Structure 1
Amino acid sequence: MIPVGKRGLTSAEAATRLAADGPNALPTRESRGLIAFTFQVMREPTFVLLVSAALVYLVLGDLREALVLAASVLVIVAITVVQERRTERALEALRDLSSPRALVIRDGREQRIAGAQVVRGDLLMLREGDRVPADARLIEANDFMVDESLLTGEAVPVAKRAHPHEGLEVQAFSGTLVVRGTALGEVVATGPRSELGRIGSLLHGRESPRTALEVETARVVRLIAIGALVLCVLMAVIFTAMRGDALGGVLAGLTLAMALLPEEFPVVLTVFLALGAWRISRHGVLTRRMPAIETLGAATVLCCDKTGTLTENRMTVVETWREGRWRTTADRDADDAALLRAAALACEPSPFDPMERAIHVTAPGAHERAGVLERRYPLAEGFLAVCHAWLPVEGDAHAAIKGAPETVLDLCALEPAARAAASAAAERAAARGLRLLGVAAAPWTHAPWPAAANGFAFRFLGFVALADPLRPAVPGAIALCRKAGIRVVMITGDHPATAAAIARAAGIDATRIVTGAEIGGLDDAALAQCVAATQIFARVRPEQKLRLVEALRRNGEVVVMTGDGVNDAPALRAADIGIAMGARGTDVAREAAALVLLDDDFTSIVGAVRLGRRIYDNIRYAMRFLVAVHVPLAGMSFVPLFAGWPLLVFPVHVVFLEFVIDPTCSVVFEAERGDAGIMDRPPRRRGERLFTARIVAVGLALGASVLAAVTAVYGLALAQGLPEGEARALGFAALVAGDVALIFANRSGEHGFVARFTRDNPALWWVVGITLGALVLCVYAPSVASLFRFMPPAPGAFAVAVAAGFASVLWYEVVRAVRRN
Structure 2
Amino acid sequence: MSTAPPPSAPHPLDGGLGEDEAALRLRRDGPNELPVSRPRGLLRLALAVASEPMLLLLVACGAIYMVLGDAHEALMLLGFVFVVMGISFFQQRRSERALDALRDLSSPQALVLRGPTPRRIAARELVVGDVVLLAEGDRVPADMDLLEASNLAVDESLLTGESMPVAKEAAASRQATDAAKAFSGTLVTSGTGRGCVTATGEHSALGRIGKSLAGIAADATPIQHETRRVVKRVAAVGLALAGVLALAYAITRGDWLHGVLAGLTLAMAVLPEELPVVLTLFLGLGAWRLTREKVLARSIPAIERLGATTVLCVDKTGTLTANRMTVRRVWSDEAVYDRVSSAGQVLQEELHGVLEYAVLASHRRAFDPMESAIAFAGQRLLAGTEHLHADWTLVDDYPLSPEMLAMSRVWQSPDRQERLIAAKGAPEAIVDLCHMDADQAAIVAAQVRAMAQDGLRVLGVAQATFDAAALPALQHDFEFRFLGLVGLEDPVRPDVPDAIAECRKAGIRVVMMTGDHSATALSVARQAGLMTDAPPITGVELAAMSDEDLQARLAGAHIFSRVQPDQKLRLVRAFLAHGDVVAMTGDGVNDAPALKAADIGVAMGARGTEVAREAAALVLMNDDFASLVTAVRYGRRVFANLRKAIVFVVAAHVPIVGLSIVPVLLGWPMLLMPVHILFLQLIIDPACSVVFEAQPLEADAMKTPPRRADQRLFDAALLVRGLWQGIGLLALLVAVYAGARLQAAPDVDGDDVARTLTFMVLVLSNLALIQTNRSWARGPRRRDRESDRQFAWIALGTIALLGLVLAVPAVGRLFSFAPLSPALLAAALGVSVLSFSWFECVKWILLRPGAPGGPR
| TM-score bracket for this pair, using the shorter chain length | over 0.9
Q: Is 1:11 aligned to 2:11, yes or no?
A: no
Q: 1:107 aligns with which of 111, 115, 120?
A: 115
CA contact (8 A) 2:334 2:350 kept: no
**How does 1:647-796 map onto structure 2 within 5 Å?**
647-722=670-745, 723=749, 724-752=751-779, 761-796=788-823
Contact 2:699–2:782, Cα closer than 8 Å, also in 1:
no
Give the Å deviation of 1:243: 2.1
2:485: which partner in 1? 463
Q: Which amino acid aligns with 2:118?
A: E
CA distance in 2: counterparts of 1:201 and 1:758, whole angstroms: 47
Q: Secondary structure at the match of 1:207?
A: coil
Q: What is the distance in 1 between the residues matched to 2:774 and 2:85?
A: 28
Query: Is 1:561 equivalent to 2:619 in the alignment?
Result: no
Match among 198, 206, 220 for residue 196 of structure 1: 206
Spell out, residue by residue over 1:238-265, the C-alpha distance to the aligned partner (whole angstroms, 9 max, x if none): 2212222222112222222221111101
Residue 656 (structure 2) pairs with residue 646 (structure 1): no
Cross-structure match for 2:357: 342
**Superposition deviation, residue 518 in structure 1:** 1.3
The CA RMSD measured in Å over matched residues stands at 2.1
- Where does residue 259 of structure 1 map in the other structure? 269
3-state secondary structure, aligned to 1:202: helix
Corresponding residue for residue 373 of structure 1: 394
Counterparts of 1:696 and 1:200, CA distance in 2: 47
In the other structure, the counterpart of 1:531 is 554
CA distance in 2, matches of 1:324, 1:267: 71
Any conservation in 2 of the 1:484–1:683 contact (CA below 8 Å)? yes
Say if 1:440 and 1:460, in contact at 8 Å, map to a contact too. Answer: yes
Q: Quick check: 1:546–1:571 contact (8 Å CA) kept in 2?
A: yes
CA contact under 8 A between 1:25 and 1:190: conserved in structure 2?
yes
Which residue does 2:468 correspond to in 1? 446
Shift of 1:215: 0.8
What's 1:210 paired with? 220
The residue that corresponds to 1:387 in the other structure is: 408
- Name the CA shift for 1:756/1:796 in 2 (closer, same or farther; >3 Å): farther
- Kept in 1, the 8 Å contact 2:335–2:348? The answer is no
Shift in Å, 1:141:
2.2
State how 1:405-424 maps to structure 2 within 5 Å. Answer: 405-412=427-434, 414=436, 417-424=439-446
- Contact kept, 8 Å, 2:537 with 2:561, in 1: the verdict is yes
* CA apart distance, 1:789: 1.5
Task: Give the secondary-structure state (helix, strand or coil) at the position aligned to 2:33.
Answer: coil
Counterpart residue number, 2:834: 807
The amino acid across from 1:445 in the alignment is D
Q: 1-side partners of 2:436 and 2:546: how far apart?
A: 36
Kept in 1, the 8 Å contact 2:91–2:689? The answer is no
For the Cα contact (< 8 Å) 2:694–2:787, is it kept in 1? no
SS in 2 for 1:424: helix
| Deviation (angstroms), 1:552 | 1.1
Taking the aligned partners of 2:154 and 2:360, their CA distance within structure 1 comes to 25
User: Counterpart in 1 of 2:81?
Assistant: 73
Deviation at 1:324, TM superposition (A): 5.4
1 CA distance for matches of 2:419 and 2:456?
32
Distance 2:841 2:20 in 1: 69
Query: What is the match of residue 565 of structure 2?
Result: 542
Partners of 1:288 and 1:595 within 8 A in 2:
yes
Q: Deviation at 1:736?
A: 1.0
Q: Percent identity?
A: 50
Contact kept in structure 2, 1:135 and 1:194, CA below 8 Å: yes
2:44 maps to what in 1?
36
- Aligned partners of 2:306 and 2:636 also within 8 Å: yes
Judge conservation of contact 1:669–1:747 (CA < 8 Å) in 2. yes
* Cα deviation digits, residues 83-102 of structure 1 (max 9, x gap): 21221111111111111111
Mapped to 1, the partners of 2:581 and 2:820 lie a distance apart of 58
> Residues 762 and 387 of structure 1: is their aligned pair in 2 closer, same or farther, counting only changes over 3 Å?
same
Indicate the larger mover: 619-628 or 785-794.
Answer: 785-794
Change in CA separation of 1:761 and 1:169 when aligned onto 2, cut-off 3 Å:
farther
Matches within 5 A, 1:47-446: 47-165=55-173, 167=175, 170=178, 171-323=181-333, 325-329=335-339, 330=343, 331=345, 332-364=347-379, 368-369=389-390, 371-395=392-416, 396-412=418-434, 414=436, 417-446=439-468
- 1:754 is displaced (CA, Å) by 6.9
The number of aligned residues is 819
In the alignment, what sits opposite 2:7?
A: none
CA distance in 1, matches of 2:805, 2:392: 86
- Aligned-partner residue type, residue 691 of structure 1: F
Whichever residue aligns with residue 506 of structure 1, its letter is: A
Most deviating of 104-113 and 277-286: 104-113
Please state how far the C-alpha of 1:414 moved relative to its aligned partner. 4.7
Match of 1:605 among 618, 622, 628: 628
Q: Are 1:370 and 1:391, in contact at CA under 8 Å, matched by a contact in 2?
A: no
Write the deviation string for residues 46-71 of structure 1: whole angstroms up to 9, x where unpaired.
Answer: 11111111222222222221221122
The one-letter code matched in structure 1 to 2:501 is A
Q: Aligned partners of 1:508, 1:158: CA distance in 2, in Å? A: 43
**Aligned partners of 1:327, 1:58: CA distance in 2, in Å?**
94
Q: What are structure 1's unaligned runs of at least 5 residues?
A: none
Letter of the 1:42 counterpart = A
Preserved contact between residue 318 and residue 465 of structure 1 (Cα < 8 Å): yes
Letter of the aligned partner of 1:295 in structure 2? R
Structure 1 residues 168, 246: closer, same or farther in 2, change over 3 A?
farther
Query: Within 2, Cα distance between the matches of 1:195 and 1:242?
Result: 73
Question: TM-score, structure 1 length as denominator?
Answer: 0.96
Q: Secondary structure at the match of 2:775?
A: coil
* Higher mean C-alpha deviation, range 93-102 or range 787-796: 787-796
CA contact (8 A) 1:748 1:756 kept: no
Determine the C-alpha separation between the residues in 2 that align with 1:412 and 1:759: 64
Alpha carbons of structure 1 residues 324 and 559: separation in structure 2 relative to 1, 3 Å: farther
Q: Which of 605, 620, 626 is residue 649 of structure 2 equivalent to?
A: 626
Distance 1:601 1:438 in 2: 29
Q: Compute the displacement of 1:698 (Å).
A: 2.0
Shifted more, 477-486 versus 452-461: the winner is: 452-461
1:390-443, Cα deviation, whole Å (9 max, x unpaired): 112221321111111121122225565443332211111111111111111112
Q: Per the alignment, do residues 55 and 368 of structure 1 end up closer, same or farther by CA in structure 2, a change over 3 Å counting?
A: farther
**8 Å contact kept, 2:765–2:832:** yes
1:584 aligned residue (607, 621, 637): 607
User: Which segment drifts farther, 28-37 or 223-232?
Assistant: 28-37
Aligned-partner residue type, residue 579 of structure 1: V
Q: Distance in 2 between matches of 1:346 and 1:168?
A: 30
2 CA distance for matches of 1:637 and 1:120?
Answer: 66
CA distance, structure 2, for counterparts of residue 674 and residue 77 of structure 1: 31
> For residues 513 and 462 of structure 2, what CA distance do their matches in structure 1 show?
27
Shift in CA distance, 442/168, structure 1 to aligned 2, threshold 3 Å: closer
Tell me which moved more, 141-150 or 190-199.
190-199
